[in-house]
Amino acid sequence: MVDPKWLTTSAGVKMPRIIYGTAWKKDRTADLVVKAIQAGFRGIDTACQPKHYNEALVGAALQRLKNQGIEREALYLQTKFTPLSGQDPRQVPYDINSPIELQVAQSFEASKKNLQTEYVDSLILHSPMAPHPLLMTVWNAMEKIQKTGGARQLGISNCYDAEVIRSLYADARVKPAVVQNRFYPETGYDGDLRRWCAHHGVVYQSFWTLTANPHILASHIVRTIARKYKKTEAQIFFRYLSQSGIVPLTGTSSEQHMEEDLSIFDFELSYEDLKNVGLLLNQV
């Protein structure tokens, strides 16, 4: 029987089918993570990127939750190595003068300290690096972390060129298990890339999922389906993605929206409704 709330990745890691994102939460990070887990989320996405994430407060939240009886092992925890181009030069969490392989290792040590954990379930490269040999140097450094038990699986984010992921997959010894991308019209919703991911058993995670798609939420099709199921437009869109094999991230600060996001597994869209929502994505 398929578990509607969890999937198992190609690396054998259990991943929730919806994940709580912690970007841009700043000083509210710990309180919001605690609220999200208390509401029922079991997946947390963060990054070793002080510019947009307060990773140490995710760790503080994990300790608060542990004191409430929710152990680290019950959660899916995902962080990222962010290359220098994505960092605030005033607060880079590694030595910028070190070789790139050491930067990856130093970033991960910082993440472990921040999160107060010895391992993460997923370590993501925050953005591809060019040329390809440089990308593979970084990936090999991540593979060392995976092979020594620091990360249970690896992935890549902000990768919109299917050729980049194909080349990485071909040359990697530890194959990427996750691609996490912004889900928006400008890339055609990564149609070709998502088909490639599905064929190779790579989980596609979406972020900016609601923010970038107000036209879908406001469409006659989604509003009509929402009335039919007595759900919100956001719930319909998230349910569509989940039934399509996509794992959405949500960063809501609203407890009501947290509960609504988690309740997308209480119903199932019909084949016809899935097809109709899918048509909206193909109209870009």
Inside any domain, residue 38: yes
Question: Tell me, what DSSP letter sits at residue 202?
Answer: P
- If one counts the domains in the chain, the total is 1
**In this structure, is residue 150 part of a structural domain?**
yes
DSSP string, 60-121: HHHHHHHHTT--GGGSEEEEEE--GGGS-TTS-SS-TTS-HHHHHHHHHHHHHHHHT-S-BS
Give 235-269 pLDDT, tens digit per residue: 999 999 999 999 999 999 999 999 999 999 999 99
Q: From the centroid of its chain, how far is CA 210?
A: 14
Residue 259 lies in a domain: no
Whether 121 is in a domain gets the answer yes
Q: How confident is the model at residue 24 (pLDDT cuts 50, 70, 90)?
A: very high
Query: Against a cut of 0.85, is the pTM above it?
Result: yes
Residue 80 lies in a domain: yes
For the domain that residue 175 is a member of, what is the CATH number?
3.20.20.100
Specify if 220 maps to a domain: no
What value does the mean pLDDT of the chain take? 97
Res 284: pLDDT: 54
Q: What is the pLDDT of residues 138-161, one digit of tens each?
A: 999 999 999 999 999 999 999 999
Higher pLDDT, 282 or 283: 282
Q: Is residue 35 part of a domain?
A: yes
Residue 107 falls inside a structural domain: yes
13: domain range?
Answer: 6-212+246-252
pLDDT above 70: percentage of residues in the chain: 99
* Structure confidence by residue, pLDDT tens digits, 110-128: 999 999 999 999 999 999 9
